[in-house]
Structure 1
Amino acid sequence: MKPLYLLLLSLLSLLPWPAAAQTVNVDAAERYWEMTDALRRDQPLTDNTWNAFVAVPANRRYIASVFSEKDLKSYRRAIEVIYRPSLDSLRQARLKAESWYYVLNEQYRQREPEFRAYLQQTAQQPGYLDLMYQLAYEYLPAPARHPVANLQLAYVAIGNDAISEQEGLVFSLKSAIDWNKPKAGILEGHEIHHQLRPGLDFSFADSLDQTLLYALNMSLNEGLADLIDKSVFMRSPADSAETRSWLLAGAPAVLQATAAWPTAPRPELRYYRRLSNGSNGHLPGFFMARTIERNGLRPQLLAASDDPMAFFLLYQRAARRDKTRPPTFSGASVAYLKSLQKKYVAPARQARVRALAP
C-alpha cells in the first residue's frame, strides 16, 4: 500500500495556490539530517554544532515553546546516543526502558526516508497549503476565510508537537505525519485555524478578570480548532480510544468544577490550569465544542467565534438539549458570564475595528 502522501499528489496538483505569499521552510529539518549524518559517522555532538542547530530560526521558536532547559539537555543527549554507533549498547538499554526521548529519536532515525519524502512530495507541494486552509475554513466565519498574509510555515525534525504563534507555524515532522494519518492536513488545518480565528484583546479588562478571560478564551481557541482534527480521530478506530481518554472522559468532572464558580473570579492562572489538567484549553474545550455542534448550534458557534463567553453560554444551551445530559453551569455562573460579555466584548470588538482601519 502506498503511503498517504503519495496518494494525495494527484489531488494536490489540482488545488489552486493561495493568493497571499506563503512560505514553507525546511531548513531546520535539513540541518538536523546534516547533524545526524555526522553522528552516524560516530563524530561527537559538539557544543558548536548543537548551538548552531538550536539557532536555526524554526528550531529556536519550537524549542522555546516546547522544551525547558533541562529537557533540552536530555533531548540533546538522546540524539547523540541514538545515532552514534559507539553508544549502541546504551541506546538499546534506553529503548528497552522506553525512555521517551530515546524512543522518539529512534523514530526519527528509522523513519528518515519517510520524513524526507513527506517534505519533498507533500508539504512542499503548493496545493497542500490550500488543502489545509479548506479544512480550517469549515470552522471559521465567512469573513475569516482567507489565506494568512505572508504565512511562515516551517517543519523541524525534533519533538512531537506543533506551535502556532505570531511569527507563524512550526510542525515537528513526526507529529505532522502521524497526526494526519486519519485525514491529510488536519494538524496543519488545526494550527492555521489559530492564525485565522478572529480574536479579541482583553488586555484592557480589570486585573481580577484577566486570568479568567484568558482561561475562557483558551477553551474556545482549542475547542473550536479541535473540531478539525479531534473529530476525525473520534471516527478512527486506531485513535478513538486515546482521544476519548484524553479529552472526553475527564471533561464532565472539569465542567462540574467549573459550574461551581463563585460570582467573582479566582485571580491565579494556575487555578485554571489545574482545572483543565494543564491542557491549555483542549480540556474541556473539545467536549464543549463537540456538544455544541452535535446539538445543531454550529452556525451560532462560528458567528461568535471571537467571544469566549458566548462559547460557554452556547455550551449551556446545547447541554440542556443534549440527551446524554452533560454537566451544565450554575445560575450564578451563567449570570457572571453574561456580565463579563456585556462588560468586555463590545469594547474589544470596537477596538479591533479601530486597529484594522486604514
Structure 2
Amino acid sequence: MIIRILFLFTYLLFSAQLFAQVIRYNTVDFSGMAPFWQVESSLIKDTEPDPDEWNALFDAPPYQILMAGGFSQKEFEQQLRLAFMPSMGSLLRKELDKNNPKSNFLRHVMQIMGNEKKLKELQANLQKAQLIKTALSMAKELLPDSFLYARALPPVSFIICDKAISHAPTGVIIDLLFSMDFEAYVPYFIAHEAYHFYRAKIKVPNLPGHNQPEYPIIQMLTQMETEGIADQIDKKKFFLNRGPFAGYEWARSYQHYLAKSPQAILQLDEYFIRMATVPNSDSKIIEDLLPMNGHPTGYYMANAIIEKMGKRTLIQQTANPFAFIRLYQRVALKDKKHYPPFSSITMQYLRKLEQKYYLPKKAEQPKQKSSPKLMWYEKDKVINNW
C-alpha cells in the first residue's frame, strides 16, 4: 500500500461538538467498521445494499465527521460499488486505466478483497491495544508536564475512507487499510497528533490577525517549531536512516529537504535581513522558503537543540517559536561547521517581533503618592534609622 500523503487534511468545517457528543474522549472507536463490513458483504455478492445498510454506514460518527468536512456520500457509494460488485468489472477497468485520484482510491480499497480476515484480526488487535495510553506517554516526553492532562485526547477512529490519515480538532481518523501495512506506526502517529492537540492549548493572546502583514511570518515560524518538535516522535524511527518506511516517496522527499536544511536556514536568514531593511517586502514569500510546511527544517533545528542542549531545555521553551530559534542560534554559534547561524540583523528583527506579539506587556504601576516634605528635625531621624 502506498502512502500518498501522511498528514493530509485538517477539516476546519467540523463541528467541534459533533464527535465529542457521540464518542468519549480518550477512546479508540470502530463504530464505522461493522456497517462497512455489512455493505461490503452485500456488494461482493453483486447485491445492492439496503438503504438501511447505507444509512447505518454513514450515520456512524466518523463518517458524519468526514461528511461535515466535505466528504461525498454519493461518490463514496459509487466507488465502493465499482470496487466490489462483479457486474461493474468492465467499468472498473476503464476507471483504473485513467490513473487519477479516483483510480488510486479504487486500487486502495480493492485491497480489502481477500484481506477481510486479516483486517478484522487487525481490528481486534487494535481494540485490545492501549493506543491512547501509549501515545500519551510518548507525547508527554516533549510537553511540559503541567499542560499534558489538562484535557482528554479527542477520540481516534478507524474506518475505511479515501484518505490515509485525517485529523481535526474533534479527533483523528485512520484508514484501517493503512494500518494493515503500518500497524507499528499507528501509536506513533497518534502520539504526534496528541502533541499537536496539547501544544495548541498553550494560547498566545496577542498574535496578529490573518489579514495583518506579519501573520505569515508568525504562522510559518510556529509551524516550523511545532512540526519540528512533533516529528521527533515518529520521523527518526520510521522515515529516516533505515526506518521501515524510509524508502517511500514521501519519506525520500523528507530526507531530501532535511539534508538541505542548512541552505533553507541561510535563505531564511536572507529573507529576514530583507524584511528588517526593507519593511515593505512581501512577507508571504516565507511560505515558499520552508519546504513541506516546515517539517524537515523544524526537525533539523529541534534535533540540533536536543542533541547539543538536551530535551528538557527544548521543552522549557515550548510554544514560543522565537525562543526555539534562539536555542538553535546558541547551538549554531558554538558549532558553525555543522549548523549555520542566523545573522545579528535577523536575530534583532525577530526579537522585535517577539516583543510585539509574544512577550507579555508590563502592567502599568500605580503612581505613588508623593511623600510629605520632611521637616528639618525629621531628616536626621530618617538618616539615622537608615
TM-score bracket for this pair, using the shorter chain length = 0.7 to 0.9
- 2:231 counterpart residue number: 226
Identity of aligned residues (%): 21
Return the alpha-carbon distance in structure 1 between the equivalents of residues 330 and 182 of structure 2: 32
Equivalent of 1:166, from 163, 166, 169?
169
1:22-41 equivalence runs, <5 A: 22-41=26-45
- 2:355 counterpart residue number: 342
Equivalent of 2:192, from 190, 193, 215?
190
Structure 2, unpaired ranges of 5+: 1-23, 364-386
- 1:353 counterpart residue number: none
| CA deviation after TM superposition for structure 1 residue 326, in Å | 4.1
Task: Describe the SS at the equivalent of 1:171.
Answer: strand
Report the residue type matching 1:79 in the other structure: L
1:33-182 equivalence runs, <5 A: 33-44=37-48, 53-54=57-58, 56-62=60-66, 77-92=78-93, 99-122=103-126, 124-125=127-128, 127-146=130-149, 148-149=151-152, 151-181=154-184
Please say which of residues 21-30 and 129-138 is displaced more in the overlay: 21-30
Structure-2 change in CA distance of 1:138 and 1:55 (3 Å): same
Report the residue type matching 2:204 in the other structure: D
- 2:383 counterpart residue number: none
Return the alpha-carbon distance in structure 1 between the equivalents of residues 335 and 183 of structure 2: 30
What do residues 233-285 of structure 1 show as CA deviations (whole Å, max 9, x unaligned)? Answer: 1254432344652223224244333222222586676x4443334x3342432
Confirm or deny: 8 A CA contact 1:292 1:319 kept in the other structure: no
Task: Describe the SS at the equivalent of 1:154.
Answer: strand
Report the residue type matching 2:218 in the other structure: L
Which structure carries more helix by proportion?
A: 1
Matched, 1:308 2:321: yes
Q: TM-score, normalised by structure 1?
A: 0.74
1:230-269 equivalence runs, <5 A: 230-233=235-238, 234-242=240-248, 245-251=252-258, 252=261, 253-261=263-271, 262-263=275-276, 264=279
Report the residue type matching 1:139 in the other structure: L
Return the alpha-carbon distance in structure 1 between the equivalents of residues 353 and 182 of structure 2: 36
- 1:208 counterpart residue number: 213
**How many residue pairs are counted as aligned between the two chains?**
323
Return the alpha-carbon distance in structure 2 between the equivalents of residues 155 and 186 of structure 1: 15
Task: Describe the SS at the equivalent of 1:337.
Answer: helix
Return the alpha-carbon distance in structure 1 between the equivalents of residues 286 and 55 of structure 2: 36
Structure-2 change in CA distance of 1:150 and 1:200 (3 Å): closer
- 2:375 counterpart residue number: none
Which structure has the bigger radius of gyration?
A: 2
Confirm or deny: 8 A CA contact 1:132 1:192 kept in the other structure: yes
Q: TM-score, normalised by structure 2?
A: 0.70
Report the residue type matching 1:239 in the other structure: F
- 1:286 counterpart residue number: 299
Confirm or deny: 8 A CA contact 1:164 1:170 kept in the other structure: yes
Report the residue type matching 1:151 in the other structure: P
Confirm or deny: 8 A CA contact 1:202 1:213 kept in the other structure: no
| CA deviation after TM superposition for structure 1 residue 232, in Å | 0.7
Confirm or deny: 8 A CA contact 1:45 1:80 kept in the other structure: no
Return the alpha-carbon distance in structure 2 between the equivalents of residues 113 and 132 of structure 1: 27
Return the alpha-carbon distance in structure 2 between the equivalents of residues 50 and 285 of structure 1: 44
Confirm or deny: 8 A CA contact 2:27 2:132 kept in the other structure: no
Confirm or deny: 8 A CA contact 2:45 2:85 kept in the other structure: yes
C-alpha RMSD of matched pairs (Å): 3.6
Task: Describe the SS at the equivalent of 1:155.
Answer: strand
Report the residue type matching 2:84 in the other structure: Y
| CA deviation after TM superposition for structure 1 residue 114, in Å | 2.9
Confirm or deny: 8 A CA contact 1:295 1:321 kept in the other structure: no
Task: Describe the SS at the equivalent of 2:158.
Answer: strand
What do residues 1-58 of structure 1 show as CA deviations (whole Å, max 9, x unaligned)? Answer: xxxxxxxxxxxxxxxxxxx962222122333323322321224589997687455432
Return the alpha-carbon distance in structure 2 between the equivalents of residues 331 and 192 of structure 1: 36
What do residues 297-317 of structure 1 show as CA deviations (whole Å, max 9, x unaligned)? Answer: 422211111112222232333
Return the alpha-carbon distance in structure 1 between the equivalents of residues 153 and 245 of structure 2: 34
- 1:15 counterpart residue number: none
Confirm or deny: 8 A CA contact 1:22 1:149 kept in the other structure: yes
Report the residue type matching 1:260 in the other structure: E
Confirm or deny: 8 A CA contact 2:35 2:53 kept in the other structure: no
Please say which of residues 219-228 and 109-118 is displaced more in the overlay: 109-118
Task: Describe the SS at the equivalent of 1:35.
Answer: helix
Return the alpha-carbon distance in structure 2 between the equivalents of residues 83 and 284 of structure 1: 43
Confirm or deny: 8 A CA contact 1:155 1:173 kept in the other structure: yes
Return the alpha-carbon distance in structure 2 between the equivalents of residues 323 and 289 of structure 1: 16
Confirm or deny: 8 A CA contact 2:269 2:342 kept in the other structure: yes
Confirm or deny: 8 A CA contact 2:179 2:186 kept in the other structure: no
Return the alpha-carbon distance in structure 2 between the equivalents of residues 108 and 332 of structure 1: 57
Structure-2 change in CA distance of 1:114 and 1:256 (3 Å): farther
Structure-2 change in CA distance of 1:126 and 1:238 (3 Å): closer
Task: Describe the SS at the equivalent of 1:158.
Answer: coil
Return the alpha-carbon distance in structure 1 between the equivalents of residues 289 and 353 of structure 2: 20
